[in-house]
């Protein structure tokens, strides 16, 4: 008998066909108040689940006594309680590497958009404000030859460093749990303390996973250490930053601007002050959201799922 799996995110039909070769698939394009009851019903005898963002904690695992593998279709896995999964002998996998280039492109987009004020000026042109030669008040700041500080020099961080160093002649500072010799050798990145990085960077880019250690990693003290001209970029998770302190730092001119792909609450509340700040560029968590990369992520997640259910060790087993 084929193992039973639930795919709870919209994926390309080719992904479903691949999984169906070895598994019986129950498919939900998304989980919402309409589909949750059926999802929980199917969970009772599911061997595997594939999707993203679902909080897989002990309470959910209690409803899934047969579960053998949780295949997360993202590299970040702060939605999984790894200790609870391990205690029950359930494998968990993620999708690293395949998204590095796309996420790094998004981050360069945020850096350029905030430094050169692209969304703000787009609005200005469309509003019919471009009536004479551009005045100094609309100038931006250069990105090339500036200092980029990367906190969390892993797969995505290294790929951002490559673009920034090779394409924009930027000087790279980084802070990480351990030295990244490849980034140092290939992209001239310099390892430094968090404090040094914050004091000396023109752009501070946060790329750590969300863990108990990194929750609110950047707050009042850290914004206070940054240059007043600094632009803060966050594409990790909203909770790695104290969002209230970010808002204050932007309001008081402690920093010059921000480019944000992630927020404490997603989708963002329309009354979030960040949305009314001209010096903030906001994106709806689109880091990896291209057709090509989402397909690769889904195929990686499907391959992990099938491999785990066949009794092999999945390539991206979270340890
Ligand atoms: N906005 C988006 O759509 C996306 C967001 N992400 C986020 O970015 C995170 C990083 O992704 P990858 O680079 O693929 O992961 P990775 O695991 O390759 O790199 C993370 C790096 O952060 C470092 N790190 C962890 N804790 C740290 C700490 N306390 N201080 C300093 N460094 C620390 C690690 O040593 C590692 O080098 C993901 O966990 C996810 O939350 C990733 C992809 C897309
Ligand atoms: O992979 C992740 O962690 C994301 O946030 C979406 O790509």
Same domain membership, residue 197 and residue 240: yes
To test the ligand 2 pocket, which listed residue (50, 51, 72, 103) has its Cβ within 8 A of the most ligand atoms?
103
41 Cα to the center of ligand 1, angstroms: 34
| DSSP 8-class letter at 55 | -
Q: Is residue 318 part of a domain?
A: no
Domain harbouring 254, CATH code = 3.40.50.720
- What pLDDT score was predicted for residue 251? 98
Low-confidence ranges of the chain (pLDDT < 50): none
Same domain membership, residue 82 and residue 13: yes
* Atom 2 in ligand 1: residue holding the nearest Cα: 287
Same domain membership, residue 181 and residue 136: yes
100 Cα to the center of ligand 2, angstroms: 10
Question: Using CA atoms, how far apart are residues 79 and 12, in angstroms rounded to an integer?
Answer: 23
Same domain membership, residue 217 and residue 205: yes
Same domain membership, residue 20 and residue 37: yes
How many separate domains does the chain show?
A: 2
Q: Is residue 229 part of a domain?
A: yes
The verdict on the CB of residue 234 being under 6 Å from ligand 1 is: no
Those residues with Cβ within 8 angstroms of residue 203's Cβ, 6 or more apart along the chain or in another chain: 111, 115, 143, 146, 147, 148, 149, 230, 231, 232, 233
Those residues with Cβ within 8 angstroms of residue 150's Cβ, 6 or more apart along the chain or in another chain: 157, 160, 161, 172, 173, 174, 175, 189, 205, 207
Contact 218, 196 (CB under 8 A): no
Q: Is residue 26 part of a domain?
A: yes
- What pLDDT score was predicted for residue 184? 98
Same domain membership, residue 274 and residue 131: yes
Same domain membership, residue 208 and residue 268: yes
152 Cα to the center of ligand 1, angstroms: 6
Same domain membership, residue 232 and residue 86: no
Same domain membership, residue 154 and residue 232: yes
To test the ligand 1 pocket, which listed residue (53, 73, 75) has its Cβ within 8 A of the most ligand atoms?
75
Same domain membership, residue 81 and residue 112: no
Q: Which of 79, 43, 36 is nearest to 61 (CA)?
A: 43
- What pLDDT score was predicted for residue 195? 98
Q: Is residue 205 part of a domain?
A: yes
In degrees rounded to 5, what are phi and psi of residue 11? Answer: -130, 165
pTM > 0.95: yes
Q: Is residue 171 part of a domain?
A: yes
Which token pair is 172? 């790279």
- What pLDDT score was predicted for residue 130? 97
Same domain membership, residue 243 and residue 122: yes
Q: Tell me how crowded residue 44 is: count the other CB atoms within 10 A of its CB.
A: 11
Based on the residue annotation, tell me whether 117 is a catalytic residue of this protein.
Answer: no
Question: Using CA atoms, how far apart are residues 116 and 105, in angstroms rounded to an integer?
Answer: 16
> What range does the domain containing 113 cover?
100-282
**For residue 190, what are the β-bridge partners?**
173
Q: Counting atoms of ligand 1 from 1, which one is nearest the CA of 157?
A: 13
Same domain membership, residue 202 and residue 250: yes
Q: Tell me how crowded residue 116 is: count the other CB atoms within 10 A of its CB.
A: 15
């Amino acid at each position: 008998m084929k193992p039973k799996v639930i795919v709870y995110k919209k994926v390309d039909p080719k992904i479903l066909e691949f999984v169906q070769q070895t598994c019986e698939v129950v498919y939900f394009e998304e989980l919402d108040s309409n589909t949750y009851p059926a999802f929980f019903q199917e969970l009772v005898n599911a061997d595997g689940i594939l999707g993203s963002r679902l909080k897989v904690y002990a309470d959910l695992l209690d409803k899934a006594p047969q579960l053998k593998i949780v295949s997360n279709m993202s590299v970040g896995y702060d939605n999984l309680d790894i200790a609870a999964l391990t205690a029950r002998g359930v494998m968990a996998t993620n999708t690293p590497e395949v998204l590095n280039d796309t996420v790094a492109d998004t981050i360069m987009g945020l850096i350029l958009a905030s430094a050169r004020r692209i969304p703000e000026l787009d609005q200005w042109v469309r509003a019919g404000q471009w009536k004479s030669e551009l005045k100094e008040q609309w100038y931006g700041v250069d990105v090339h030859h500036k200092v980029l500080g990367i906190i969390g020099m892993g797969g995505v961080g290294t790929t951002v460093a490559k673009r920034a160093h090779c394409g924009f002649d930027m000087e790279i500072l980084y802070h990480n749990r351990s030295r990244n010799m490849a980034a140092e050798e290939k992209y001239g990145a310099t390892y430094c303390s968090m404090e040094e990085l914050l004091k000396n960077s023109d752009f501070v880019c946060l790329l750590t996973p969300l863990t108990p250690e990194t929750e609110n990693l950047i707050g009042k003290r850290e914004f206070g250490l940054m240059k007043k001209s600094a632009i803060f970029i966050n594409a990790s998770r909203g909770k790695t930053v104290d969002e209230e302190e970010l808002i204050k730092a932007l309001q008081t001119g402690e920093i010059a601007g921000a480019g944000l792909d992630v927020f404490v609450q997603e989708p963002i509340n329309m009354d979030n002050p960040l949305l009314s700040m001209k010096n903030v560029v906001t994106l709806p968590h689109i880091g990896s959201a291209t057709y090509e990369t989402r397909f690769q992520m889904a195929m990686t997640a499907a391959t992990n799922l099938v491999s785990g259910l066949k009794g092999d060790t999945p390539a991206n087993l979270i340890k």
